[in-house]
Each structure stands twice: as structure tokens, then as C-alpha cells.
Structure 1
């Protein structure tokens, strides 16, 4: 697998977002300013609650197929490799990791079987697009922690995807969960969300390395990032951290992450979270408190390392 210098672009964009003025220009600027060679697009599916069985991906809350296809084609035109990562969320705000049902079917209660049927339809829809438009990778979901013990269903899903998509197949588990997934042999690439605290990267990479060695698969961080908020570099996975803007702390976290990862030859890259389709004014960057890196000190750190990795 070629090294991934990646960025997630406009995750969960709603219908029409990729057709708005400036969206393609933002993608081109992302490539130029970060040195990225890889982009992840994230079509969103929605279910009402963590116990709902039906996933909707045809409402105005989800990007339309034609705009996604146009953006895939544009990304390739400007020299980016592309991955699709269809990801489900809950309308009531519960994090998708908590989607869960009884392990034994109970009459009148929601069931894993019904949910996996809907999830499979969601994934196959985008796997076909990935195949038809030569996407280099397909990532069959993200951070579905409470479902990952359903090994038979996940293996069946991945097998079904392979019937329609023939590129690299991955799945994005959550931070600290890499060692808990027992079916990594069914994917081509292991990936996870690398939101690890400043100063703790070496410890976490030691732990993940045992998983990579066990399964003998390529690995990359399909998500990684830190907010420009005071305290975020200690808990970069917590998007609810509130405090003063801290672009310096965000840049320090990125330096720590890249330094640690660059020492491990089994880390095949990373995809940063995230870059928006509509960019804010550069003059407002120092006061923003989010994961975006545009025009912040962290952007220069990313460019420095991505230029090195691209050599």
C-alpha cells in the first residue's frame, strides 16, 4: 500500500454541498496547502436512535450521488487517491459507537439481523460507486464499537462488498479498540481513529503494533486530529472540550503525532479530520476552536511532514 498522506474532506456533507461555489476550490487548496495525496469522502446515513433498524441515506441530509461522483472525478483529476467511507449516525445525537441490540432475538424488540440488512444496503450502494469510479479504497464504516463483536455479520458484509468492489477494503475501528476486532483477516487494510493524547503516542503504537504483527496487514489511521482548544491535546477525541482557542496546542499535538508515527515503518499513513468544503476567512483562524487546520499553525506542521512522506 502506497503511503497515505490523507485528509477527510467535508464529512457528512448534506445534499448540494459539493455543488456549491468554492467546494472544488477548497479541495484543490487542501491538496496544495497540506501536501495530501489521498482524500476520504464520507457519505452519511442516518437512523433515528441507536436502537433503530432502518438507515436512511436518500434524504437531503446526505450528499447526492451525482455530486459525490463529480467530486471523486475532480479529486482524481488533481492527482488525489480516493477512499469512500459511508458512515452512519443517529439523529438523536447518540454517538454511533452505541448502536446496539440484544444478542438474542426477542419478539417485538429491534434486531441485529434487520439492522445489518439495512447497513449492508447502505454500504453496497457506495461500494458500487467506488468500483465504478475507481476509488482506491473502500472503508466499510467507522467506529461501530458495540457491533464489532457480531463477527459473522461483519464477515458476511465484507464478503458482500467484495462481490461489487475490487479495490482495497478496510474498516475504521475506534481508538483503543484495535485489539478487540477479531476479523481483521477479512479486510485488506486495518484502520482506526488515532485520537490519542499528547505524549501517549508511543504507548498506543506499541499496543497497536501487536495487532498489526498478529494479522500481518497494512495499517493506517483513517482518522486523526486535535481541536485548537485549550485542553484538547490531552483528550483529542473529546469534541465537547470547551476553553480558549489554542492553535499552538493543536500544532504541538500534530508534531507529537507525526514524530511518533514516523518512527514506525508499519504505520502506512493517516487521514486528518478534517477539511471543510466552505473555508472560513484566514483572519479568523487563530480564534477558531475546532478540528479544522486551514490557516492555523497545525497546517504548516502537516505540510512539513506530508512533504517528507511524499518523497
Structure 2
């Protein structure tokens, strides 16, 4: 990838913060990490994503680790987190391809616990870790990348992803967003988890409401009915900052379960995408998707039929996604 700065795409008009429909894909998470975000494999992956899906946005997502759900230090300067140079290079590569970028730093737990379970006592107890200690570390983590986002002309910064147990800490999240805005003038969003859209009481602090859209194939209408009043009340643009389904038998009924047993099935993945796009196309308040996800480096196209993960590369869902993005972007 070219390491020299590239001019980012024009900013969105004042009356449309997102600049139109968000036809996006998440890049760099699966198979990613330090050492994978640059070089020929990364270049080929990003080129294929643009050429085969017709995306106009990309989320550059990467993780940093804390040891346990109750740890109060985040090792974002260490592997597997990509280096700052790698992050900047990927941003510039996306801009050079005409994409608008959402930068998405995410905290994960080294022992494998899902980040949604990061939590501390509601009332501080002597000798126990506290929310204040964790948010101090998390603010250092997030403001570091806010500065990079500002310097590189990133269009949107996601300040958190699926932090379910922390969602209720309204004062701390408002302070975090304020600290980010002191460093970064672009759009700010928070990616709440599926089913949690109504649990976040501080949507007014961000510019864009977003959530993870891993809803069962036959449940999209009911879930959109539930989400719509939340979005209308917030008065902010809404998109699914994550959404996808593994190419695996059974996954359309439980698309958030990345380890669900089942034989590889590109048709099952395609069916889920067809249902998701059809339901959302009837809701003018759904402004788009950042689908999950596109790895670097990519698997071989000849291996697509046996790959049962989320990436749609060289699978039947690829055509469904490209066609849906093309229609929605007209």
C-alpha cells in the first residue's frame, strides 16, 4: 500500500452527515493484526473488496487486549494491535481507492471473554478495580486513535463496540465522547450490540446511531419495528456498523454465533443477505451497512466453497451484496 498521504473524499454535505447511502464493508479484522495491514496481500484484499462489492465506505477495525474482563490496563501499544504506521497506511490506501473511512479501535479480552462482559462494581469498593480506572485507560486508548483519525482525514470514528455492561455508564461515556471530540472533528458513532439499541441513553452525544445487525433471517421486520422508535427519538442517522452471516448451514437462524456447527453453505449466507437487504430497503431510516467482514489476506477463491466464515468473497452472497449496494446508492 502507498504510505504517502492521499486526499480523502469530500466531506458530507451539512444536510446529510453520511453523504448518502453507506455501502460499506469491515476490513482487516479477521486474519488481521500487526504485520498484516500492509504489503501485497493487504493491497490485493482491499482491491478485491472495492472491485467485487462496489463499496463506497470501509470500516478499518482492529483490536487491543486487556487481560481479563476486570483488568484496568489496555495493551494497545503492543501486538496484535497494528502499529500506528500500519493504521495510517491502511487509511491512506482506502482514501486512494475513493473510500470514506470509519476507524474502529476495539478492546478485546485476552482470556477469550467477550468484551460485552467487561464490567466493574456499580459502587466502588476499596482494593477492587473500578469503572473510573478502566475508563481512564480506555480514554487514553481512544483519544490516541482520535488524533490519528483527525490527522488522516477519517470521516467517522467509532468510540466503542458492543460494550453491553458499560452502556449504562452514561456519564463516563459522555466524558469519553467529549475527550474524543477535543481531538477529532469528524463524525462520531457508537456501535451498540444487537438488541441493545434502546438501552443506550446517550445517543444524543454522538452523531450517528449504529448497532450490530445479527438478526435471524425471519426476524428482521420485528427487530426493525423495535429499533425504529429509538432512531426516530434520537433524531440521528442510523446504520448497521456490523451485519453479516457465516456461510454455514443453520447460521441464518443465529448469525451472531461464529462457532455454530454446520456444513459450509454459500446458499445459506446468500439467503440471509437477501432477507436483510429486502427488509431494510423498506425502511428509509436505515442508511446503510458496514458488513462483517473482509479479511487480509484473503483466502483463495478456489477455497470459497469450503470456507464457512463471514467473508462473502467468491461466494453466492457476493452478487447479492453488490446488487443491493448498487440499487441503494442510486
Question: TM-score normalised to the size of structure 2?
Answer: 0.93
What are structure 2's unaligned runs of at least 5 residues? 1-17
Equivalent of residue 28 in structure 2, options 3, 7, 10: 10
Aligned to 1:214: 233
Which residue pairs with 2:314 in the alignment?
295
Alignment of 1:78-93 (within 5 A): 78-93=97-112
Q: How many residues align?
A: 311
Asked if 1:205 is matched to 2:224, the reply is yes
Q: How does 1:112-151 map to 2 (within 5 A)?
A: 112-151=131-170
1:51-105 deviations in whole A, cap 9, x for unaligned?
Answer: 1011111112110111111111111111100010110000000000000000111
Unaligned 5+ residue runs, structure 1?
A: none
Q: Note the 1:54-65 alignment, pairs <5 A.
A: 54-65=73-84
- For residue 21 of structure 1, report the CA deviation from its aligned partner: 2.3
* Length-normalised TM-score, structure 1: 0.98
d(CA) in 1 for partners of 2:137 and 2:60? 21
Is the Cα contact below 8 Å between 2:273 and 2:317 reproduced in 1? yes
1:169 Cα deviation from its structure 2 partner: 0.6
1:240 pairs with 2:256:
no
RMSD of aligned Cα (Å)? 0.9
Matched with 1:275 is 294
2 CA distance for matches of 1:43 and 1:200? 30
Decide whether the 8 Å contact of 1:24 with 1:71 is kept in 2.
Answer: no
C-alpha distance in structure 1 between counterparts of 2:107 and 2:150, whole Å: 20
The answer as to 2:199 corresponding to 1:180 is yes
Instruction: Measure, in 2, the Cα distance between the counterparts of 1:86 and 1:32.
Output: 26
Runs of 4+ off more than 2 Å: none
